[in-house]
Chains A and B, each alone.
Chain A
């Protein structure tokens, strides 16, 4: 059992507040992804959990044990580093067996475990090589195998796929997911790639400027962003926003059209809709097409609504030219509302 609890963790580097108010519970065997833009504190949080960095305040619990005063080796964790950190002076075999040797396990046990994890990661034919003789993808496999060989309660991964080319990433992503599900470890995975996050995670924690702004399942994060930041960050292209003015109780004027919305007293709200949740129709938002990009499966139309940038993903059979006028109908149950003051989502 390795549930992870992070309680009120904050971290400052001198004057700089890198993390604040981090509260997160990760269930046993859950695959949690920390997602956020560069510099938002993902690595810092991971390093605090690993014990490579000390938090300024707060507690870290793994299982039923408070671990934030323990050295990394006593926390029951293993880690895959961003640049792999595969030891160059050791063979692949000795790299995978490094942690086991440190635990002074008997030779045959080390061999057995190294063999097994190497087979799991499909690198059993590379065991005698040095890291200088491996490709990036193979090195990455060694780094994962080294972590798995420890049979840890928790495995921490810091952007393990970021140095691989797109195709290899796709392949490794699927493989990682399978291997980790099988190994029954709790996993925390750092990435700034939202596609990776969506495809791997049981739950995603979206981080922004040292805070966790939403921790939920991928579908939930995508469909019901808790904050305007999440809505603008997740999804490619991201959500569209148009300012809405109150027309009466629960009625809002969006770019000249009237919509049902939250019964809020706010002076203005933001109306939000995903580009793929728009269809050309008789009635809807009036848009002027600016740029038309055929993407094969879809047609990405960048247009202007009420003077603001607005994107729509439409059927590729549609013929649209720049400066064409479009009427785009949002799917009613996909419309979301945000309060521009608090930036939080407002329920209908």
Chain B
């Protein structure tokens, strides 16, 4: 057998796997979204977009992403820098910081619910300190700000580590000599961070951001646990259409809208953080 075909034969299993378990269901979903009993249609999209909950869900999803991702990015950068300047104990700290990665998003939501709940830690603590007379319902429709804050906290706690590990690996790849050169030529620690670390970290930054932003648009379980119906998001709508209203076509349409938003965001991130030819490490 000629070696010309060998690479193709070697990637065949993976390709088949992806086609069967990803491409095929995707085609089915797309078919559901674009088809009615009479043939091709955009009615499903018109219907879900026209529904009163759609604008709120879209707004909430984008708002949450806009609030959470920048904070996570800053935190992850700070933590990655700290970890990289650490000598002994570096690995231990990194492991501890990445523990939330091992916890499912629903479990994470429930952990934070246990904190904010009417009979939760926060209430017990505040009444123990005598700050309040009786337990308050923090996560109610009367305090949408608190609900949003709780969801933000849970999301930050849960998913910062994934950016952290990518950035730690990326910072580790930057040769020490660049920092020394920058120092000799007069760059302060802050300037070294903005002029050396950040630009040289662009490949890792874009990977981390793409991954994180896509996850942010898919946010569901944490919101469900903490906000329930108080804070509708797009993925929650998909779930409702599919399992509450048993409307697979509308569910498929919302899912495709989320996909489109994710692709758009990915393209923007890749474009903004692209590294010119010849300018890689």
Contact = CB atoms under 8 A, between A and B. Distances in A.
B185 A78 contact: yes
Which secondary structure dominates chain A's binding surface?
Answer: mixed
B186 A102 contact: yes
A99 B185 contact: yes
Given A88-B200, A89-B199, A79 B181 contact: yes
Given A72-B184, A73-B186, A103-B186, A130 B191 contact: no
A69 interface: no
A77 B184 contact: yes
A31 interface: no
B177 interface: yes
A183 to B, nearest CB: 17
Contacts of A88: 200, 279-281
A52 B177 CA distance: 11
Interface string B152-183: 00000000000000000000000101101111
Specify which of B184, B202, B276 lies most central, judged by the most chain A CB atoms within 10 Å of its CB. Answer: B184
A81 interface: yes
Contacts of A85: 175, 177-178, 180-181
Nearest to A89: B199
Interface in B174-215: 175, 177-178, 180-187, 191, 196, 199-200, 202
A98 B276 CA distance: 19
B279 A89 contact: yes
Interface in A244-286: none
Contact of B186 (A87, A89, A99, A130): A99
Contact of B185 (A83, A89, A133, A146): A146
A129 interface: yes
Interface string B258-281: 000000000000000001111111
A98 B184 CA distance: 11
Nearest to B192: A102
Contacts of B276: 130
Given A102-B187, A102-B191, A130 B182 contact: no
A102 B194 CA distance: 12
Contacts of A226: none
Given A83-B177, A85-B178, A102-B191, A129 B184 contact: no
A132 interface: yes
Contacts of A146: 185
B278 A87 contact: no
A72 B183 contact: yes
Interface string A85-108: 101111000000011001100000
Given A88-B200, A102-B191, A73 B184 contact: yes
A98 B185 contact: yes
Contact of A73 (B178, B183, B202, B277): B183
A81 B280 contact: no
A258 to B, nearest CB: 58
Nearest to B183: A72
Contacts of B275: 89
A302 interface: no
A131 interface: yes
Interface of A: 50-52, 71-73, 77-79, 81, 83, 85, 87-90, 98-99, 102-103, 129-133, 146, 150
15 contacts: A50-B184, A73-B187, A79-B181, A79-B184, A81-B177, A83-B175, A85-B180, A87-B196, A89-B202, A102-B185, A130-B279, A131-B279, A132-B277, A132-B280, A133-B277
Given A78-B185, A102-B186, A129-B278, 6 more contacts: A52-B180, A87-B181, A89-B279, A103-B186, A130-B277, A150-B185
Interface of B: 175, 177-178, 180-187, 191, 196, 199-200, 202, 275-281
Top-10 shortest CB links A-B: A99-B185, A102-B186, A132-B278, A130-B278, A85-B181, A73-B186, A133-B278, A85-B177, A130-B279, A89-B199
